[in-house]
Amino acid sequence: MADARALYQEVILDHNRKPRNFGTLAHASHQADGHNPLCGDRITVMLDLDGERIAGIAFHGESCAICKASASMMTATVKGKTRGDAETLIGEFREMATGKREPDNLPHIGRLAVFAGVRDLPTRVKCAILPWHTLHAAINSLESTSTEAADDPMHAPIGDA
Amino acid sequence: MTALQTAMRSQPAPAIDILRIRADFPILELEVGGKPLVYLDNAASSQMPRQVIERLVTYQTTQHANINRGVHYLSETATAEYEEARRKIQRFINAREDREVIFSSGTTDAINLVAHGYGRKFIGAGDEIILTTLEHHSNIVPWQMVAEEKGAAIRVVPVDDTGELSIDAYEKLFTPRTKFVGVSHVSNALGTVNPVKRMIAFAHARGVPVLIDGAQAVPHMAIDVQDLDCDFYAFSGHKMCGPTGIGILYGKAALLERMQPYKGGGDMILSVTFEKTTYNAIPHFFEAGTPPIAAAIGLGAAVDYMSAIGMDAIAAHEHDLLDYATEQMRRMPGVRIIGTAPHKAAVLSFAIDGVHPHDVGTLLNTEGVAVRTGHHCAQPVMQRFGVPATSRASFAVYNTMSEVDALIAGIRTVQKVFT
Ligand SMILES: Cc1ncc(COP(=O)(O)O)c(C=O)c1O
């Protein structure tokens, strides 16, 4: 449980308070909406793809601190990178957040390792993953995605009574 | 209500012995992350006292067999205990007859039983069903399924900014096409206690039957279904110190007898041939298949447990907790209580400025405090109050004032982390 407190560290709180790339793009070439119906998190990721390169990226929506900080750091990290690089990072982030691999073994994860702690909070893993999942949908021109059912990145819906 | 019950209710509720009660609940001794557990998620599911746990063990170790089938000792014993549990629940809610008490798997199942057994038989194209904004999804979705299948419409009673139903609007929703009313006794998201007795009388004057979702009422106050005069009353065992997998549908016998079967199978029939099946009488008509026998008997023990403390004493204690928590929270800058109706029970929903409820829940958990965060399966309520979710503390008889203090201290910690 002490791990949960550790998750709310300064980097994450700072990105929650002052999210980077928060807003909309005037000329988005791609965009997708992500929704976590279990907690109501909703975010939209907009992209300006210049060939293979992510020339612009922005996000907006309403979400918890973990989701918002994850989105903020994601946009800061993938801006200027290629689609392929972004997909690699999406894969690594997912592996880290679901506890399948240690951040030390993920060559591109870098500062995003601050989210490794979510693995110990099963109900919060999806909060951290939602922006990445939505970015994936945007890159691949899917209009919307969800953390549940067929779209579930973990194929393990969490109940909500 | 009997004369004795009336007399007892006019007495002030006796104070409860909170330490003795807490000692009955083994789980309350748990520590979570090195902090004593402060369990304030009782509206989602309550904890079980030793008396209920021991009853389950006794049943399973000395009385178990299938019911209504064997002529041997264990089957007869299990059948007798199962039916005795039904009578305990009958007395607890003051039903006229034991056959008006049907075992279901929970509130959701009980409401689905009525939607299928009554709704699909008696509601037709162009008819109208009245529900309220405060309903849990389990008292919305089954009726939407009926409405969609039959071409009926759903009319919704609005709530005001405090979370109180507009009774004026309710009464205006009635038309000659109104065929059914479904309303929660207590809102699980806001704690509002609805004036169901008055609403039932109004519907009955127009010949419309009423189902009360009592999932959040039965654990917290004395319920008298004859006094309410409701047609159906649904509740869950696991929210009232009983096991999961068991719940009750109370229904007036005359209505139950006119309904169509819900599930088909063993126990609900008298005889079966491929040409013709004759059905068993209520309550068995609605209890197809082997029921959760142990859970039903456990629920009987839970009813005994709560009755021994006294529902009025439980209500009074929980009211004190709610008043104290409300008072504390009201004084906290940056904290907003959602649901401020004058008449509430055991539920306190709140929002902290600038902090998403999910983060509130995770951080309170690090202090050992268990609250529920989310939409509480009541999305129309969330939409009405313009929030995606709330944090919700909900009380039971075993909670204490110092646990309220722990909640308040936890909220201060959350605010500190997020400044
Ligand atoms: C008001 C209300 N109705 C219905 C339900 C559904 O109860 P269950 O999940 O036990 O069927 C709940 C519990 O979550 C509730 O609070």
Each residue's pLDDT tens digit, B32-46: 989 999 999 999 999
Question: Closest partner residue to A161 among B32, B358, B377, by Cβ?
Answer: B377
Q: Does A46 touch chain B (CB under 8 A)?
A: no
Rounded distance from Cα B293 to ligand 1 centre (Å)? 21
Residue with tokens 């509601």: B123
- Asked whether the predicted pLDDT for residue B295 surpasses 60, the reply is yes
Q: Do B373 and A39 touch (CB under 8 A)?
A: yes
pLDDT (0 to 100) of residue A38: 75
Please tell me the total number of residues recorded for chain B in this structure: 419
As annotated, the residues of chain B forming the CATH 3.40.640.10 domain(s) are 53-307
**What CATH number does residue A108 fall under?**
3.90.1010.10
Task: Name the pLDDT band for A7 (thresholds 50, 70, 90).
Answer: confident
Answer yes or no: B230 catalytic: no
Q: Can you tell me the mean pLDDT for B303-315?
A: 97
- What is the rounded distance in angstroms from the CA atom of residue B419 to the CA atom of residue B389? 21
As annotated, the residues of chain B forming the CATH 3.90.1150.10 domain(s) are 3-48+310-418
We find that the CATH architecture of domain B53-307 is: 3-Layer(aba) Sandwich (3.40)
- Asked whether the predicted pLDDT for residue A123 surpasses 90, the reply is no
- What is the rounded distance in angstroms from the CA atom of residue B79 to the CA atom of residue B267? 12
Task: Name the pLDDT band for A141 (thresholds 50, 70, 90).
Answer: confident
What does the DSSP assignment read for B23-90? HT-GGGG-EETTEE-EE-BTTT-----HHHHHHHHHHHHHT-S-SSS--SHHHHHHHHHHHHHHHHHH
Residues A107-137: b if buried by 16+ CB within 10 A, e if exposed: eebeebebbbbbbebebbbbbbbbbbbbbbb
- Asked whether the predicted pLDDT for residue B419 surpasses 80, the reply is yes
State the smallest CA–CA distance between residue B391 and chain A in angstroms: 11
- A and B: number of Cβ contacts within 8 A: 60
Q: What is the mean pLDDT of chain A?
A: 87
pLDDT (0 to 100) of residue A2: 45
- What share of chain A has pLDDT > 90, as a percent? 73
Fold of the CATH domain B3-48+310-418:
Aspartate Aminotransferase, domain 1 (3.90.1150)
Instruction: Look at residue A158 and tell me if it is in a domain.
Output: no
Rounded distance from Cα B137 to ligand 1 centre (Å)? 8
Q: Does A4 touch chain B (CB under 8 A)?
A: yes
Instruction: Tell me which H or E stretch contains B315.
Output: helix B311-330
Task: Name the pLDDT band for B88 (thresholds 50, 70, 90).
Answer: very high
State the smallest CA–CA distance between residue B376 and chain A in angstroms: 7
Q: Best mutation site among B165, B188, B232 for ligand 1, i.e. most ligand atoms within 8 A of its Cβ?
A: B188
Pocket of ligand 1 (CB under 6 A): A 161; B 43, 106-108, 136, 138-139, 184, 188, 213, 215-216, 236, 247, 377
**Catalytic position from the list B377, B400, B405, B409:** B377
* Nearest Cα residue in chain B from A62: B388
Rounded distance from Cα B215 to ligand 1 centre (Å)? 6
Give the three-state DSSP class for B261.
Answer: coil
pTM for the structure as a whole: 0.91
* Nearest Cα residue in chain A from B388: A40
pLDDT (0 to 100) of residue A155: 40
Structural domain count of chain A: 1
Residues in A closer than 8 angstroms to B32, CB to CB, are 1
CB A69 within 8 Å of CB A17: no
- Asked whether the predicted pLDDT for residue A150 surpasses 70, the reply is no
Q: Does A38 touch chain B (CB under 8 A)?
A: yes
Contacts of A107 (CB under 8 A, 6+ apart): A92
Question: Closest partner residue to B417 among A2, A8, A41, by Cβ?
Answer: A8
Q: Do B358 and A64 touch (CB under 8 A)?
A: yes
Rounded distance from Cα B235 to ligand 1 centre (Å)? 8
pLDDT (0 to 100) of residue B413: 95
* Ligand 1 closest atom vs CA B244: 10
CB B93 within 8 Å of CB B225: yes
Q: Do B356 and A65 touch (CB under 8 A)?
A: yes
- Asked whether the predicted pLDDT for residue B340 surpasses 90, the reply is yes
Interface pTM (ipTM) of the complex? 0.83
pLDDT, one tens digit per residue, over B359-394 is: 999 999 999 999 999 889 999 999 999 988 999 999
Residue with tokens 């019911």: B67
Domain that residue A85 falls in: 2-151
Instruction: Give the B-side interface with A, CB within 8 Å.
Output: 32-35, 44-45, 355-359, 362-363, 365-366, 373-375, 377, 382, 388-389, 417-418
Q: What is the mean pLDDT of chain B?
A: 95
